Structure 1
């Protein structure tokens, strides 16, 4: 079972490559399943006045899903395509998020926290947001948002659960209790998490989540899937060999896949 469930394409504004280029690349590298999972449109900020290229425009969402379904059928004899969405959790916008998720026949929806208010903590253009803030306070606010996302019931798994570390801003000591509390909430909500390999090319130089979080997640029985978070077709599958080895090292023998919003576990 060779999968990549986290990918982005040109519609999101900060990636390149068409959906079909990703599909062809997936076939080329021998993926069993390819998840197409572009960013949900922005809901709480005005795309015209906010930072450019953050997510696909709302009018592109139906076109995105239609194209995904078309490619799923076109290439059904060559690769198993799963139609997904990376659905930002934005506190106070739960109804709008739920409406989007329920409107389309997704195979899976990733629950990701990028925003704390109007600050996108994953955007390199917004590092000034850290100025004057205690990393401990920011981490606490971030993980509280992840817990709220898990409790909504909107999502199938939590994406890059410790992405708050992306640019290397960290508390003086690891906030182990907060990490475990968050994973306990994920477990109680019957969600999976992903091992997102893209952290290896980020300033943090570590996959999302850290090995310690991954080991705890496995110890309490949280299912795990994997993704490259590719923003270019040539990065599809990047570092996933290392991700698979790490999973094997900590004793994971099955990987989570999704179809029609239902989770299955397969050996890999």
Structure 2
């Protein structure tokens, strides 16, 4: 079965296309399952005073969920739609995040670290945030947040676990210990991770996570799913052939799928 669990649409402000556009594209490319997983509204900054077009407005969240479930019913028997949310982990804002997550019935919730405080390390407009910072310290802070996300109990899998490398800012020092500790936290709390193929079109020029991290995840027995992180309908499924091939080369034989927060493994 072909799946893609990481997608975004126009409500988030920095993607294009309607939810139905993604569903139709999924049918066109032969997906068996498509996960709709747009960004949770911002909770720790004032959206009106922050960078624009970061996430869907809070007032749009119920409409997003309603539309997802309407499409799930409309396309029943044609494509299996899973209703998800990419919910940023923000240290110190766990209660607010929990309230939003628990207000709706999700098939899965992705735990992603984009923000270190008010700095979104994945936003191309904020790469100046690296200026004057010790890169190893940033990596330590980032992977500490990933561990806390894994321990929070809020999520079903961790998204693009090493996305801190997205723009090519890396310490000179070896960060294997930090990466391994993050994966060990994922294992300890019985979460999955994703192989996010979008890194191939980023300055990192590598999927998230790296092949080395994938090998350690396999060694630990961490389940894995895949996603294109598409922000345009035509990018749905992009690079997922390469992602599946890399997973097979590393030694994975199953992918994690999710239904009402329950994980099921399928062959690929």
Following the alignment from structure 2 to structure 1, what is the Cα–Cα distance between the partners of residues 228 and 85? 15
TM (normalized to structure 1)?
Answer: 0.99
Residue 114 of structure 2 is aligned to residue 114 of structure 1? yes
1:164 aligns with 164
1:178 Cα deviation (Å)? 1.0
Following the alignment from structure 1 to structure 2, what is the Cα–Cα distance between the partners of residues 49 and 250? 45
2:235 aligns with 235
Could you say what secondary structure the match of 2:7 adopts?
coil
Deviations, residues 180-225 of structure 1 (Å, cap 9, x unaligned): 1110010000000000000000000000000000110011100000
1:39 aligns with 39
Deviations, residues 25-45 of structure 1 (Å, cap 9, x unaligned): 000000010000000000011
Following the alignment from structure 2 to structure 1, what is the Cα–Cα distance between the partners of residues 214 and 100? 30
1:102 aligns with 102
Following the alignment from structure 1 to structure 2, what is the Cα–Cα distance between the partners of residues 54 and 254? 33
1:174 Cα deviation (Å)? 2.9
Residue 155 of structure 2 is aligned to residue 155 of structure 1? yes
Following the alignment from structure 2 to structure 1, what is the Cα–Cα distance between the partners of residues 244 and 174? 25
Following the alignment from structure 1 to structure 2, what is the Cα–Cα distance between the partners of residues 155 and 219? 22
1:70 Cα deviation (Å)? 0.2
Residue 250 of structure 2 is aligned to residue 260 of structure 1? no
1:142 aligns with 142
Following the alignment from structure 1 to structure 2, what is the Cα–Cα distance between the partners of residues 177 and 141? 13
Following the alignment from structure 1 to structure 2, what is the Cα–Cα distance between the partners of residues 2 and 205? 24
2:225 aligns with 225
Could you say what secondary structure the match of 1:245 adopts?
helix
Could you say what secondary structure the match of 2:73 adopts?
helix
Residue 69 of structure 2 is aligned to residue 69 of structure 1? yes
Following the alignment from structure 2 to structure 1, what is the Cα–Cα distance between the partners of residues 161 and 176? 14
TM (normalized to structure 2)?
Answer: 0.99
Could you say what secondary structure the match of 1:106 adopts?
coil
Residue 208 of structure 2 is aligned to residue 208 of structure 1? yes
Which aligned runs of 4 or more in structure 1 are off by greater than 6 angstroms? none
Report the count of equivalent residues: 268
Following the alignment from structure 1 to structure 2, what is the Cα–Cα distance between the partners of residues 168 and 40? 26
Following the alignment from structure 2 to structure 1, what is the Cα–Cα distance between the partners of residues 27 and 136? 43
Following the alignment from structure 2 to structure 1, what is the Cα–Cα distance between the partners of residues 150 and 174? 22
1:173 Cα deviation (Å)? 3.2
Following the alignment from structure 1 to structure 2, what is the Cα–Cα distance between the partners of residues 200 and 241? 12
Report the RMSD for the aligned CA atoms in angstroms: 0.5
Could you say what secondary structure the match of 1:111 adopts?
strand
Following the alignment from structure 2 to structure 1, what is the Cα–Cα distance between the partners of residues 266 and 24? 24
Could you say what secondary structure the match of 2:218 adopts?
helix
Residue 179 of structure 2 is aligned to residue 176 of structure 1? no
1:126 aligns with 126
Following the alignment from structure 1 to structure 2, what is the Cα–Cα distance between the partners of residues 220 and 123? 31
Deviations, residues 6-49 of structure 1 (Å, cap 9, x unaligned): 00000000000000000000000000100000000000111111
